[in-house]
Structure 1
Amino acid sequence: MGASGGKRHSKKVSTFSGRGTTEAFRFIWKHRRDYSVKALCRHLKVSWSGYYAWANREPSKRATDKADLLLKIRKIYDNSKGRYGSPRVYQTLRREGLVVGENRVAKIMREWGMKARSAHVYRRLRKLRNDLKALPNYRLEAARPTAENQQWSSDVTYIKLGKKYVFLAVVLDLYSRRIISWRLGASLSANFARATLREVFTSRKPDSGLLFHTDRGIEYRAHKTQALLKQYQVKHSMNRPGQCTDNAEVESFFKILKGELLHATSFVTMRQLRNHIKAYIEGFYNTQRLHSGLGYRTPLEFEGVN
């Protein structure tokens, strides 16, 4: 081929299938930095002026629309820090007034390698004390909440920090799926759980009769915790033995948190971890993340908080 294209490129040129003029122009465009355009046109037997007319023409409306959609999808995906898959990206586009097919969004995200972050949930291991009272699961008979502060759910999970584990306790409002209280601690105890609850009782001021659901962990069965719940006239509900899905909403939050924030990320200090969790819960999960169970609204939006 000419002087600008050495022998090392001859194999690349031979891969052209020769199916048509447009395919030839695309091939020339792809390899224009390896060879002179004139040499490529001569080799592929197409018009040099025709190639430049093709290369300089305005892109089709379809190509332009696809490029614009890709930019919008990438912006939403990046703003979520890679936490959104195609369903939530699609719902965000709809909220912005864009009419687009969900399958098209999913296809573009696959093509460009945009995949939601995810991870397995790792639950803490603990020994149960048989002298602490377990309670029935009252949620099984309760109607779904119709407003905030009617039903809460709480649980604790562990997070690896360096070579040790620390504990994260959360309280979730079952009406809006909002995380209304959380606490990070170095050890698991009744005082740890009680501190999380004291904060939320002070901030939310629920009426008497609140249904509060947890698993059967000793931090919730402890006498100190039970006394606090009794003080606020709370009806305490617990998982059935071996049925962690009874507390599915909090389990789901832990899975989301670990997949979207903690997966493949190492934290060195408790302060660093606490700051990241705070930013995630208060700056994204409660305020920006679209929840499928809420009709793709955020918890604050579902509660009517501006």
Structure 2
Amino acid sequence: MSENGREGQQGPGSDLEAVQIDPQSGYEFITAHEADFPVAAMCRALGLSRSGYYSWVRRPPSAHARRDDELARRIHAIWSASGGSYGRPRIHAALQQEGIRVGQKRIGRLMKSMGLRGGSPPSDR
């Protein structure tokens, strides 16, 4: 039984506390699950404000995010053209040859987010 004497009930005085999560991750979670759960309830459970969520939804992507999208498409094209063998260093070199200045860590982060890994393609034994 909980401290308030009511077992399994939620409400004022219940033992449930809001989970702390960074806003970006929380807003992405809410967007992915808004068809299943009320936005207000998810915001409350995640310790986020509804107004913050709706502001985030209406906000256009940042310049950095737009650049990441462009780079991700280019990285995927280079990786695909290599048969999946190019990793971060070779993709970095290919982008440099195209005149695109970007750091290897950023390439690595984008590759990881897309699930891309360099290496030898599987052999046809």
The structure having more radius of gyration, on CA atoms, is: 1
Aligned partner of 1:104 in structure 2 is: 106
Question: What is the one-letter code of the residue matched to 1:98?
Answer: I
TM-score, normalised to structure 1's length? 0.31
Q: Which of the numbers 74, 77, 101 marks the counterpart of 1:75?
A: 77
Please point out which of 47, 50, 56 is paired with 1:48.
50
2-structure distance, mates of 1:44, 1:116? 37
* Residues 131-177 of structure 1 deviation map (CA, whole Å, 9 limit, x = unaligned): xxxxxxxxxxxxxxxxxxxxxxxxxxxxxxxxxxxxxxxxxxxxxxx
| Matched AA of 1:106 | G
- Matched-pair contact (CA < 8 Å) for 1:25–1:54: yes
Larger RCO: Structure 1 or Structure 2 (Cα < 8 Å, ≥ 6 residues apart)? Answer: 2
Pair 1:265-2:118 in alignment: no
Listed one character per residue, the Cα deviations across residues 200-223 of structure 1 (whole Å, up to 9, x for unaligned) are xxxxxxxxxxxxxxxxxxxxxxxx
Map of 1:140-151 to 2, 5 A cutoff? none
Aligned-residue identity in percent: 34
Residue 3 of structure 2 is matched in structure 1 by none
- Asked if structure 1 preserves the Cα contact closer than 8 Å seen for 2:87 and 2:117, the reply is yes
- 3-state SS, counterpart of residue 91 of structure 2: helix
Count of aligned residue pairs for this structure pair: 109
Amino acid paired to 2:123: A
Q: Distance in 2 between matches of 1:73 and 1:57?
A: 26
What TM-score comes out, normalization by structure 2 length? 0.66
CA distance in 1 between partners of 2:26 and 2:50 (Å) = 11
CA 1:41/1:111 → structure 2, altered by over 3 Å: closer, same or farther?
A: closer
Cα distance change of structure 1 residues 45 and 65 upon mapping to structure 2, 3 Å threshold = same
Secondary structure at the aligned position of 2:124 is classed as coil
Partner Cα distance (1:17, 1:45) in 2: 6
Separation in 2 of the partners of 1:103 and 1:42? Answer: 35
Provide closer, same or farther for how the CA distance between residues 42 and 88 of structure 1 changes in structure 2, counting only shifts above 3 A.
closer
CA gap of 1:46–1:82, structure 2 versus 1, over 3 A, is closer
The structure with the greater share of residues assigned to helix is: 2
Question: How many angstroms apart in 2 are the aligned matches of 1:45 and 1:57?
Answer: 20
Which blocks of at least 5 consecutive residues in structure 1 are unaligned?
Answer: 1-13, 119-259, 267-306
Q: What does 1:5-154 correspond to in 2, within 5 Å?
A: 17-19=19-21, 22=24, 24-44=26-46, 46-118=48-120
SS at match of 1:52: helix
Structure 1 residue 98: deviation in Å? 0.2
Q: Is the 8 A contact 1:83 1:116 kept in 2?
A: yes
1:40, CA displacement in angstroms?
2.2
Q: Which has the higher strand share?
A: 1
Give the letter aligned to residue 56 of structure 1.
R
Checking the alignment, whether the CA contact within 8 Å between 1:18 and 1:24 is kept in structure 2 is no
C-alpha separation in 2, matches of 1:102 and 1:64: 18
How many angstroms apart in 2 are the aligned matches of 1:59 and 1:110? 20
SS in structure 2 of the partner of residue 89 of structure 1? helix
Q: CA RMSD in A?
A: 2.8
Structure 2 unpaired stretches of 5+: 1-15
* Amino acid of the structure 2 residue aligned with 1:265: D
